[in-house]
Structure 1
Amino acid sequence: MIFEGQAVKVAMDDAGVATVTLDLVGESVNKFNSVTLNELAEAVSILKHTDDLQGVIFASAKDVFVVGADITEFTSWFKLEDEELTDKLRHAHSIFNDISHLCCPTVAAINGIALGGGMELCLACDYRVMAETAKIGLPETQLGIYPGWGGTVRLPRLIGADNACEWICGGAQKRSADALKDGAVDAVVAADKVQESARHLIQQVLDGKLNYRCRRDELRAPMQFSPIEKMMVFESVRGVVGAKAGKHYPAPMAAIKTIEKGISQEMEKALETEIKGFVKLAKGPVAESLVNLFLSDQAIKKSAGKYAKNATPVKQAAVLGAGIMGGGVAYQSASKGTPIIMKDIRPEALELGLSEANKLFNGQIERGRLTAAKALKAMNGITPALSYGEFAHVDLVVEAVVENVNVKKSVLAETEKYLADDAILASNTSTISITELAKDLKRPENFCGMHFFNPVHRMPLVEVIRGEKSSDEAIAKTVAYAQAMGKTPIVVNDCPGFLVNRVLFPYFAGFSLMMKEGADFQLVDKTMERFGWPMGPAYLLDVVGVDTAFHADQVMAEGFPDRMKHEGINAVDCLFKLERFGQKNGKGFYAYEPDRKGKPKKIFDADIIEILAPTVASHTELSEEDIIARMMIPLCIETARCLEESIVASAAEADMGLIYGIGFPPYLGGALHYLDQMGLQAFCELADKYSHLGKLYEPTARMREMATNNETYYGN
């Protein structure tokens, strides 16, 4: 052993080949924190001065190679002055440059995931051997930045500018077959053969069969493009990436600009170009928001892990109600390995639920994500039932019947009779109080909420709702089941609407008030979509279901009459009365017809103007700024209320709930992060301009206190 640290070790064999092994002490994965980076620099410095060095292999002692930079530590760099951040980046560059200049061939033995800085370490080597099961990639654009340790310079020279733009701008993890096809790696082997194959590559160089120096010279030189070739490559890439990224996410387009400039420069100059662009992105608000989301996501997963740590796993689940939602729950459970009974009182409902699950499995087969055999095995994990015959063996039941308090109470009380004493009952209600639903149960401590979002297979969030009598064991088991289903659970306390719908309905209320003043709902939709929402409020109401929204609105109005009750008939009331329920029956704010793939496509229905006319009380000219403010202010204030009232435990959980549950624009980082970036003083002043609209637009006393004291929700 010629070097041994807390993260990096270097050993030399008798033939003069050194192996640099990454093995960060006390961590399950390797990541680039200051310890790893500094020890790598020290190890490479020793190798630079080692006589008769014949080759170097970079390997990992863990199941992964390197997952990337330690974001919790790395983000402190972003707060540095430009010159200090530039120096930090140059230090990292100097390490990787030293690797690329070693006096012998170098090989990365990629046994597992190599992302971000881990991938950039691999790119600094002459050759790369990859395990069949490994994945590599440069996901930095998902954090609002781009690769800053040489990735925008080395990858285009290795796999071509067009491929590199796709890899970097998309930020996806690439499987071994794709990496080999694009030329990012030189060989793909079984995981247990990676180091052996890397050693073989070095031997081929020593035997004169491979020329690593020639390869280095090619990769350091500027790339050769004619002006026409360059224009065709980058104009095409810009069009595709720009349309997908949109104006709120500057990192992908900045990456293209840096790659385009760098390919015409010598390596050292191109690396400086990368640094300059990276610094600009890292200091921007989008990077701050997206990094905050990443850290919040880690925090809520850690929180869920604490709940689930001591929970007994759910080995057999059941779902009550076999509609679209029930079918979705059944599919999700079975697809992740937990068998589930799907019960309904109607055979035709069971057929619908099974059809929904089968359709989803077929989609996975068509996309190549499942073999037919595996899909059939998973589908067999769903057992349709018209009775409670097998419920004595069920660990957890998800109730997903109609959103009616009396119907739910009746079904829950009946189901409880057939369950084991320690089985958990969970309601998929979206708004009804869990404490209220528990009143007729004999074991209310075994009952909680488990609120999925539609469509179940796509929406990552599950709200686990604690009622007044819900036990810690019930919450823990439900959280563990949600995790086993591949979902992100957030534990919230009971109130009408819980977290997500409680916050969403003031947003809808802001929309309804504008409609009452004669606003064009298409203009409101387009404005909010340009602002970053995946769909505007009218379109969202159609997707959620106008009937669902109508019933939920009544629950919210009863729960919070001071600000969520409205006088007279609004647009949602009007559409509900006319049974224009949205996508589910083809007409709502918009009309719907199937597109080429059979999915509902919204079109303007001229009748809607006359239909909504009776709900319009006045006509107010609204600017784009007015529309955004009137939609966002109630949502942000209600989110703050949820935190103040301990409905949700932290700002991170509140913000991630909105990101995952209703598609809050990620570039803003969540409602509370958005308030932090705007400043509470500025927000309160903005809200006061709309105080005439009622209590929905009135910041809480605590918000005003925080504004006066210059406090933030995320602290410093």
Structure 2
Amino acid sequence: MDTAVQNESRFVHYRQRDDIGLIVIDSPPVNALGHGVRAGLMTALNEAVADAQVKAVVLTAAGRTFPAGADIREFGKPAQPPSLSEVIAAVESSGKLTVAALHGTAFGGGLELALGCDYRFAAVEAKLGLPEVKLGLLPGAGGTQRLPRLIGVAATLPIIVEGNPVPATEAKALGLVDALAEPGSSGDSFIDAALVYARSLLAEGAVKRPLGEMPVQQPDADLFESFEAKTRQRRRGFEAPLVCIESVRNAVALPFAEGLKQERALFEKLRDSAQSRAQRHAFFAEREVAKVPGLAKDTPTNPVAEAAVIGAGTMGGGIAMVFANAGIPVRLLDAQEEALERGLGVIRRNYEATAKKGRLTAAEVEERMALIRPTVSYDDLATVDLVIEAVFEDMELKKKVFAELDRVCKPGAILATNTSTLDVDAIAAATGRPESVLGLHFFSPANVMKLLEVVRGQATSDEVLATAMRLGKRVGKVAVAVGNCYGFVGNRMLHRRQSEAMLLVEEGAAPEQVDKVLTDFGFPMGPFAMSDLAGIDVGWRIRNERRKAGDPEAPEYNWLDAIAERGRYGQKTKAGVYRYEEGSRTPIPDPEVAQIIAEHVRSKGVAQRSIEDREILERCLYAMVNEGARILEEGIAVRALEIDVIWIYGYGFPVYRGGPMFWANEIGAEAVSAACSAFRAASGREVWQPAPLLARLAETGGRFGDL
């Protein structure tokens, strides 16, 4: 039975259960290992160690999870003892048999704390991991030194270098966990099961197993080299994964104490690096975008039990999969039976390809296909709660679709457009319920890409916006609320970059040179390879639409239009800016394109020159930053972090650079503004005039985000 509570702190409770000392961390929501928790742990441990009646200590946590990591809000602040490493060392050397009872997510410092214990007991549903690499860090409290001593180097490297969670059942097979609780154990029942396990260890005469005193089994001779080579390929440009490998290598090569010392030095080097600052910014930004400024937290939302998608093409089919993957029944409508059948065939092939990789069972494929219900009749949409239009980027066509939706959809149904550029308010005007209309801009392929731009129109109600944001999370997307303008946030900035890239080619750079500069910066592909992937005809049609509409800011006819007019639409036609061999997606420079560009340049009378890589990088990226500043000034994005998240998750901006606005902060507003002014002077183009916000930040030494 319990004795009186002893040395109870705000964050850690200690109780004696007969001959077991029970330490419970209680610092919601995730029991992060901040200073108060660390100090409480040390006090409770000392209490248990001092009590001769206590034969073993069980360390666990209240609430929904074991500590899910350190409190990264403490980064950059003066260290307050005891450090986590000191707490773990005290646990390891306590003289008492120690058991970590893990539930929820034992991540980062939480798992490192568990590694300081002699045994680990886990709930079946628990997940364990060392995800610090995703913040540009390495485990800094002994994780890279203790884990290989417990499970070996070969099993350790992917856990630390990839940073993905390990299910408790897999952890048990690896030897990371010693025993599992019965399924469904939680709360007091889980703690009781952990106490029973601890007593069974005592009854068996189990001994202490301090990992710091154990040797590391020598790995295969080429293990580190082969794993590092694969990591360089998979995580191109990232620093932390390679430093993680170095630290695990130290566990093999150095005595434990020296390995810990080197681990700490490497951790501090990474913590202070530009890449880690950027990745930590991205981590917090992703969570902040869910909180829409001006939208009350308690805004009511509408249920979405059934959805519909208009258009069974690439985007429509992908969006239908998004809903089916989330278990939401979805009507898939197309005007043509043939197009509908073709779209369903593509969806099935996508699911079956996933099943071949072992990520879905055959039964799950059929379950998801059954949730997608084809139709050619708008009348079948009368009961849906949400409908998303995904037809061609043609304003008149979209207006016709929305007029028909207004006729058939029930009151309160949300009417959304997947347009990537067009005016959401103009589309909403085709209905008698503009308050129910907004943009839900999925990114291609919709079933893969994480970003969802939620575009609020002038009349969109708070309830509809809140419902869309909540739905985004439900279907596994990072939803970002933005305002309505041409291209919204992502494509508006993309088109500025693309315009600059096009001009650079006219002035003398080769498309492959421009692409290489951007991929060397960290993008997964350059602007012209991306055009080929998306389909050149898409942008060509958008530009033609703007010209037909008399848009004064519509781009003039360019060499990419000339390529599209020859039927070179990109990868789907095996020819675009590059050519592609059958069965390959590798872009190959094509002399025919060089000739088309040369003819276009001659017709414009442009004098070409040699262009350095630095100019390409600055013109492409500073154009984006300057446009981003205008977007902030106009309130299309309320915060710089929205822009960063959109570009990281929608366009492949390297996360280790933090997004375009964070990256600009690292460069400095003064330097960016000065470069924009210099490009304006050299080109005479007003588009290079520094945005008012950028100019103000340059004058004051401010940063995007300090608004």
Normalised by the length of structure 2, the TM-score is 0.93
Decide whether aligned partners of structure 1 residues 559 and 180 sit closer, same or farther in structure 2, where only a CA change above 3 A counts: farther
Shift of residue 388, structure 1, vs aligned partner: 2.1
Shift of residue 559, structure 1, vs aligned partner: 10
Choose 277-286 or 51-60, whichever is displaced more.
51-60
1:648-663 correspondence runs (5 A):
648-663=637-652
- Determine the structure 2 residue equivalent to 1:576: 564
1:203-218 correspondence runs (5 A):
203-212=199-208, 215-216=209-210
Question: Take 2:458 and 2:43, find their aligned partners in 1: how far apart are those partners?
Answer: 57
Q: 1:407 aligns with which of 397, 401, 416?
A: 397
Decide whether aligned partners of structure 1 residues 347 and 125 sit closer, same or farther in structure 2, where only a CA change above 3 A counts: same
- Determine the structure 2 residue equivalent to 1:324: 314
Q: 1:223 aligns with which of 198, 205, 216?
A: 216
Question: Take 1:452 and 1:262, find their aligned partners in 2: how far apart are those partners?
Answer: 45
Q: How many residues align?
A: 692
Shift of residue 555, structure 1, vs aligned partner: 6.1
- Determine the structure 1 residue equivalent to 2:632: 643
Question: Take 2:384 and 2:352, find their aligned partners in 1: how far apart are those partners?
Answer: 27
1:141-540 correspondence runs (5 A):
141-191=133-183, 192=185, 195=191, 198-212=194-208, 215-216=209-210, 219-223=212-216, 225=218, 232-246=222-236, 248-303=237-292, 310-540=300-530
Decide whether aligned partners of structure 1 residues 40 and 548 sit closer, same or farther in structure 2, where only a CA change above 3 A counts: same
Question: Take 1:43 and 1:557, find their aligned partners in 2: how far apart are those partners?
Answer: 72
Question: Take 1:460 and 1:498, find their aligned partners in 2: how far apart are those partners?
Answer: 17
Choose 311-320 or 384-393, whichever is displaced more.
384-393
Shift of residue 64, structure 1, vs aligned partner: 1.8
**What are the superposed Cα offsets for residues 288-310 of structure 1, whole Å, 9 maximum, x if unpaired?**
11001111011012339956852
Task: Please state whether the residue corresponding to 2:59 is helix, strand or coil.
Answer: strand
Decide whether aligned partners of structure 1 residues 313 and 373 sit closer, same or farther in structure 2, where only a CA change above 3 A counts: same
Choose 248-257 or 45-54, whichever is displaced more.
45-54
1:706 aligns with 2:697: yes
Decide whether aligned partners of structure 1 residues 695 and 265 sit closer, same or farther in structure 2, where only a CA change above 3 A counts: same
Contact 1:592 1:602 in 2 (8 A): yes
**What are the superposed Cα offsets for residues 520-575 of structure 1, whole Å, 9 maximum, x if unpaired?**
1112111211110010011011112111112334567899978x6545x4221111
1:44 aligns with 2:49: no
Give the residue type in structure 2 aligned to 1:609. Answer: A
Shift of residue 244, structure 1, vs aligned partner: 2.2
Give the residue type in structure 1 aligned to 2:595. Answer: E
Question: Take 1:126 and 1:345, find their aligned partners in 2: how far apart are those partners?
Answer: 65
Give the residue type in structure 1 aligned to 2:322. Answer: Q
Question: Take 2:492 and 2:617, find their aligned partners in 1: how far apart are those partners?
Answer: 19
- Determine the structure 1 residue equivalent to 2:75: 75
**What are the superposed Cα offsets for residues 262-304 of structure 1, whole Å, 9 maximum, x if unpaired?**
3333333322211111111111111111001111011012339
- Determine the structure 1 residue equivalent to 2:590: 605
Give the residue type in structure 2 aligned to 1:92. Answer: L
Task: Please state whether the residue corresponding to 1:6 is helix, strand or coil.
Answer: coil
- Determine the structure 2 residue equivalent to 1:107: 99
Task: Please state whether the residue corresponding to 2:493 is helix, strand or coil.
Answer: helix
**What are the superposed Cα offsets for residues 73-114 of structure 1, whole Å, 9 maximum, x if unpaired?**
23344xxxxxx55x76x7221111001111121111112211
Shift of residue 481, structure 1, vs aligned partner: 2.5
Shift of residue 157, structure 1, vs aligned partner: 1.1
Question: Take 2:245 and 2:440, find their aligned partners in 1: how far apart are those partners?
Answer: 43
Contact 1:308 1:479 in 2 (8 A): no
Task: Please state whether the residue corresponding to 1:253 is helix, strand or coil.
Answer: helix
Shift of residue 354, structure 1, vs aligned partner: 1.4
Decide whether aligned partners of structure 1 residues 365 and 132 sit closer, same or farther in structure 2, where only a CA change above 3 A counts: farther
Contact 1:67 1:115 in 2 (8 A): yes
Cα RMSD between the aligned structures? 2.3
Give the residue type in structure 2 aligned to 1:588. Answer: G
Question: Take 1:605 and 1:338, find their aligned partners in 2: how far apart are those partners?
Answer: 45
1:132 aligns with 2:124: yes
Choose 311-320 or 580-589, whichever is displaced more.
580-589
Shift of residue 423, structure 1, vs aligned partner: 1.2
- Determine the structure 2 residue equivalent to 1:116: 108
Question: Take 2:296 and 2:588, find their aligned partners in 1: how far apart are those partners?
Answer: 47
Question: Take 1:369 and 1:611, find their aligned partners in 2: how far apart are those partners?
Answer: 44
Shift of residue 61, structure 1, vs aligned partner: 2.4
Q: 1:627 aligns with which of 592, 598, 616?
A: 616
Give the residue type in structure 2 aligned to 1:605. Answer: D
Decide whether aligned partners of structure 1 residues 306 and 338 sit closer, same or farther in structure 2, where only a CA change above 3 A counts: farther
**What are the superposed Cα offsets for residues 410-453 of structure 1, whole Å, 9 maximum, x if unpaired?**
11101210111211111111101011112222222211111111
Question: Take 2:700 and 2:580, find their aligned partners in 1: how far apart are those partners?
Answer: 50
Question: Take 1:554 and 1:418, find their aligned partners in 2: how far apart are those partners?
Answer: 32
Choose 440-449 or 92-101, whichever is displaced more.
440-449
User: Tell me, which stretches of 5 or more residues in structure 1 are unaligned?
Assistant: 78-83
Percent sequence identity is: 32
- Determine the structure 2 residue equivalent to 1:671: 660
Question: Take 1:379 and 1:49, find their aligned partners in 2: how far apart are those partners?
Answer: 62
User: Tell me, which stretches of 5 or more residues in structure 2 are unaligned?
Assistant: none
Question: Take 1:38 and 1:298, find their aligned partners in 2: how far apart are those partners?
Answer: 28
**What are the superposed Cα offsets for residues 621-678 of structure 1, whole Å, 9 maximum, x if unpaired?**
1122111112111111111111110001111111111111111121111111111111
Contact 1:21 1:58 in 2 (8 A): yes
